């Protein structure tokens, strides 16, 4: 599929402000018979743009994945790898991308039926991994993520045509209201908020530390917060948050002693494969935006 064949229904990063776009695409593409979510679950996901599953993985799995996180963050070979992102201020490990390249266990998790069946049901097709990452959000020094829509970035910088992608964020530590828990605006996924400003080359070298380009204006955040409210994902380690690629979300800094670590697996429909970026000169590296669209099995 080339740019000519893909009309840009989600204009973004223009020189001047563009009105918000009402999403022409559905949120849920599959149906109740296709997987573990029942009709009530799917209706709620369509309306709210996210679903919370308690006890999604076991305590043993949580312990095993945390050991992987510790191993990766202290692996000497990873310290100079571009997939390891450090905190701007303190140099602490902030994120590791493409975790399946460093951990067999996390690679297997991406193929686990508990994830694959749900991703396929929500996206109504076979799926592949668009992106995986671990956010460490360390105690005392973890900095947050300003309000944003993932899809705005994936559309502008990775060439994702439509918001037919879903993130599964699994808590590997207890997510409290006070240690940087993810905030979402329920229902905001149905409005696409174009952002203003050209994308700098290699924007990801700074945006993964602190995103400045591609974030909504304070006026837009205010309107969205008034209209949708703000809810916070809290839950014990092992719980999961499934959220739509276009939901407005963000998290605050973590000044408590309690880390808020989670692993994200982002699934994209094989029918929504990346094309050329819609608002950047070069596509981002494949460790941030995978370009092997082979369906996961
Ligand atoms: O640019 C990205 O792909 C990443 N940035 C944020 C703030 N969330 C989604 C993703 O991890
Ligand atoms: Fe995000």
pLDDT per position as a tens digit, 247-296: 999 999 999 999 999 999 999 999 999 999 999 999 999 999 999 999 99
Taking the centre of ligand 1 as the mean of its atom positions, its distance from the CA of residue 138, in whole angstroms, is 18
CA distance 70 to 234: 23
Pick the residue whose CA is nearest to atom 6 on ligand 1: 150
pLDDT beyond 80 at 5: no
Is the pLDDT reported for residue 3 higher than 70? no
pLDDT higher than threshold 50 for residue 176:
yes
The CB of 148 under 6 Å from ligand 1? The reply is yes
Q: How confident is the model at residue 8 (pLDDT cuts 50, 70, 90)?
A: confident
- What angle in degrees, to the nearest 10, is found between the helix axes of 59-74 and 104-111? 130
Residue 215 pLDDT: 86
Q: Is the C-beta atom of 145 inside 6 A of ligand 1?
A: yes
| pLDDT given at position 18 | 87
DSSP state of 285: P
Ligand nearest to the CA of 211: 1
Neighbour-count burial for 140-157, b at 16+ CB within 10 Å, e otherwise: ebbbbbebbbbbbbbbbb
The residue contributing the CA closest to ligand 1 atom 8 is 150
* Per-residue confidence (pLDDT) for residue 88, from 0 to 100: 87
Structure tokens at 238: 């092992």
**Is the pLDDT confidence value at 77 over 80?**
yes
Q: Can you tell me the mean pLDDT for 61-74?
A: 96
- pLDDT tens-digit profile of 92-131? 899 999 999 999 999 999 999 999 999 999 999 999 999 9
Ligand minimally distant from the alpha carbon of residue 143:
1
Segment 78-96 shows an average pLDDT of 92
204-209 average pLDDT score: 91
Q: Does the CB atom of residue 287 touch ligand 1 within 6 A?
A: no
Count of CA atoms in the C-beta half-sphere (13 A) of 259: 18
Per the CB < 8 A criterion, the answer to whether 145 and 208 are in contact is no
20-49 exposure pattern, b = at least 16 Cβ within 10 A, e = fewer: eeebeeebbbbeeebbebeeebbeebbebb
Residue 165: band (very low, low, confident or very high) from pLDDT cuts 50, 70, 90: very high
Is residue 160 lining ligand 1, measured as CB closer than 6 Å?
A: no
Cα gap 235→218, rounded to integer Å: 28
List of domains in the chain: 50-272 (2.60.120.620)
pLDDT recorded at residue 272: 98
- State if residue 164 touches ligand 1 by the CB under 6 angstroms criterion: no
| pLDDT value at 6 more than 80 | no
The structure tokens listed for 139 are 């105690």
Dihedral sign computed on CA atoms, order 18, 243, 203, 146: positive
Residue of 88, 99, 131, 204 with the most ligand 1 atoms within 8 Å of its CB, for mutation: 131
C-alpha to C-alpha distance for 98 and 107, rounded to whole angstroms: 9
Q: What pLDDT, on the 0 to 100 scale, is given for residue 214?
A: 84
97 vs 113: CA distance, rounded Å: 22
- The pTM of this model reads 0.96
Ligand number nearest to the C-alpha of 280: 1
Token pair recorded at residue 186: 């329920």
Q: What is the C-alpha to C-alpha distance for residues 143 and 123, in angstroms, rounded to an integer?
A: 31
DSSP secondary structure of 177-189: TTTTPPEE-TTGG
The reply to whether ligand 1 has any atom less than 6 angstroms from the CB of 150 is: yes
Least-confidence region, from 130-134, 135-139, 170-174, 188-192:
135-139
Q: How far is the CA of 208 from the centre of ligand 1 (A)?
A: 7
Q: Which atom of ligand 1 is nearest to the CA of 150?
A: 9
What is the longest distance spanned by two Cα atoms in the chain? 51
């Amino acid at each position: 599929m080339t740019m000519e064949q893909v009309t840009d229904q989600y204009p973004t990063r223009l020189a001047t402000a563009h009105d918000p776009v009402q999403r022409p695409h559905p949120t849920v593409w599959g149906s109740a018979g296709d997987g573990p979510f029942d009709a009530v679950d799917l209706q709620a996901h369509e309306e709210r743009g996210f679903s919370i599953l308690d006890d999604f993985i076991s305590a043993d799995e949580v312990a095993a994945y945390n050991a992987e996180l510790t191993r990766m963050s202290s692996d000497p070979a990873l310290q100079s790898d571009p997939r390891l992102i450090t905190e701007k201020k303190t140099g602490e490990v902030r994120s590791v991308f493409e975790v399946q390249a460093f951990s067999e266990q996390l690679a297997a998790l991406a193929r686990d039926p508990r994830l694959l069946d749900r991703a396929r049901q929500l996206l109504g097709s076979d799926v592949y991994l668009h992106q995986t990452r671990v956010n460490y959000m360390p105690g005392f020094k973890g900095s947050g993520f300003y309000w944003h829509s993932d899809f705005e970035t994936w559309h502008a910088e990775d060439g994702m045509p439509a918001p037919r992608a879903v993130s599964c964020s699994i808590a590997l530590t207890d997510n409290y209201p006070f240690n940087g828990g993810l905030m979402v605006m329920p229902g905001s996924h149905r409005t696409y908020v174009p952002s203003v400003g050209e994308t700098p080359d290699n924007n990801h070298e700074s945006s993964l530390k602190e995103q400045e380009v591609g974030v909504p204006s304070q006026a837009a955040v205010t309107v969205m917060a008034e209209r949708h409210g703000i809810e916070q994902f809290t839950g014990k380690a092992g719980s999961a948050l499934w959220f739509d690629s276009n939901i407005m979300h963000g998290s605050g800094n973590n000044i408590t002693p309690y880390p808020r670590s989670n692993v994200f697996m982002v699934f994209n429909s094989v029918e929504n494969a990346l094309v050329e970026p819609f608002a950047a000169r070069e596509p981002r590296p494949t460790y941030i935006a995978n370009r092997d669209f082979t369906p996961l099995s």
